[in-house]
A and B are shown apart, each in its own frame.
Chain A
Amino acid sequence: MSVGILSLIILALAVAGFFLGRSRALQSVQGDPRKLHSLPVYYGQTVFLFTAVPALLLMAAWLVVQPLVIDARIVGQLGPEVAADPSAATLAMEDVQRIASGLDALQAAAGLSNDEMRKMRADLSDIRGRMADVGVALGAEVNPKIFEMAKDFRDMQRGGALMMTLAVLLAAVAGFVWSVLRIKADFRARNVSETFVRWVLIVSAGVAILTTVGIVMSLATETIRFFSIYPASEFFFGLTWNPQFRGGSDLGLIPLLWGTMYITLVSMIVAVPIGIFAAIYTAEYATPRVRSVVKPLIEVIAGIPTVVFGLFALVTVGPFLRDYFAQPLGLGNSGSSVMTAGLVIGILNIPFISSLADDIINAVPQSMRDGSYGLGATKSETIRKVVLPAALPGIVGAILLAASRAIGETMIVTMGAGASAKLDLNPFEAMTTITVKIVGQLTGDLTFDSPETLVAFALGSTLFVITLALNIFALWIVRKYREQYE
């Protein structure tokens, strides 16, 4: 039974349980809801929750665990020398899975029963030819051992699916029966269902945190692998970035870090003043009518995909800067440059800063402004000396958030600043950033365990640490200088 149908059955059971629980509760008091401990819907809700949630959780856990168990058993059949080598085991598993899915297709096309499939043998029947007929191309003749394993794999999968269906249905029915039977007039259904909901919320929050932990762990393991084959000091202090396909590459972080910081700096020089001035206008000077038009219009920029910004950088800003600034000033004739990418990322970040800053300025209480006006201050004095200082921590937080966005930007840099890692002061020179090189190193044809590929994870960790530090700094600033207005 497929997962979708199984979920539908559980949900149907749970909905039925909701109505049954509610009517059972009403019956137990002869239809007078005032004699119940809780409102009738809470009784229904307990049945619904206890039927659906444990069964669905069990199903989710099963779907995660079953492939792990089956893989481990298949790899165990390969023998200890293959199982010990992770890459050989992965290759063998891929073969097994490909043949197993081929067998699925074959069974569906030829209408064979499970027993007939079981009797098929790789050395007797022309498996490769028959699979090609149903559209599954195999590279080589099928190894009889692998073929047997593929059949085992199919059997285990089928058996596992059947067991899962039974277990999940059993869990649903057990939850249903148990929660229906315990309904009585003095059953504290509201407390029970609210506690249950609270746990669901806690688990959801836990999932978000666990995901972050998982990302960090995977990043960390690969980074450690990289540093075991490439010296950390050369990575962190190396001044050249020159990956070679044959090995012996220079993988110095400094040029990439420099490019990242330079482009971020240019983008912030563009975005911060314009963003804050725009926010001051919309929050303080614009009439409500103008504000209701201007603010959404500025925010439209935030909805444009960054790749479109990249195109803008590539075909408009880049050539414009080259023809009217770089060449007349004698600063080179590169179409892609730090200036191009920085400018365009800056534009991208304007609505981000202005929208956040506008909300923050609006949150400064009117009584503060009245106090200043009441002392004979002008509007601009009030904004400069009272409103902005009060809003400053929030604005700094917004700026740092925008900075971490600029640091993580990939598409615009690829199209606007190029991909050559250089250490240069000239802003009209092509440079590149950490994110671009992460993509570049991972999309090559290199084997996965070479330092040229693994450096992507070290770069990713570096980026993660930088943006994390920036975010923590932003939070610290906001907390330290936050004013209690009350």
Chain B
Amino acid sequence: MEILKTYKLYIGGQFPRTESGRSYAVKSVNGEHIANVCLSSKKDVRNAVQAARKAQLAWAGKSAFNRSQIVYRIAEMLEARKAQFIEELQALGQSKKSAESEVSMSIDRCVYYAGWADKYQSIIGSVNPVASAHFNFSVPEPTGVVGIVACQETALLGLISQLLPVIIGANTAVVLANATKPTCAISFAEVLATADVPGGVVNILTGQPAELLPTLSAHMDVNALSIAPIESKLQKEAQAEAIDNLKRVHIFVEPLYVKKAQGLPYIADFQEIKTTWHPIEQIAGGAGGY
């Protein structure tokens, strides 16, 4: 007998069902019924944010090198499940070739961002010249909890392209998966769970952005939003709701599933710069400052 997978949510390292008990059907391009997935509610958003907040300090407290190892491990786990993802993408209607290329690019992207973990700080950060006897330096710090509305065109690569720069920068994330192609996102959660990513660092919800995004963007404990190209009405609403706690809102205009959509700026989007003034003695008779 064939055992079909129950697609659930990923919150705090666990795979719970939605608290609302609702579900919706995922269909392939030719209308074939692929699976039922959870139709998340506001309360699932709340639970996910809570889990992300709880995990954030410990995640940021890990050494950059350790975060690098963990993200590299995601690549290893993806590699091992390559066939499964290719099959899932094909079920959603992609050609074998395009599915293969999407999974390969996803794995490459993991390795790429793993490499950045202990390097972006010294490139974004700086030592600043000041007019007094102070050593003045600026370093990036994670923004905190980031809400992500994943790419609605691709099922895997877009999500990974948005998520990795966020978590490699020591943030934690609450992801609203692609609404019409959510199966890969949940399978990806299984990858995360086996890749030593601590529970709560990434939380993945399936459901309708129109229903969930307002709650996420109004949530006072979410510090930033990363929004893939979606309906402009929803984007505007999210920007307006984000005002109360001055969320950093980053709306992507360009597609995220292309080869060039990676790099340092994607990490820098979710970093805050902290500048420190450290008093120093006059050095070797020179004027103050560095």
- A and B: bona fide binding partners: no
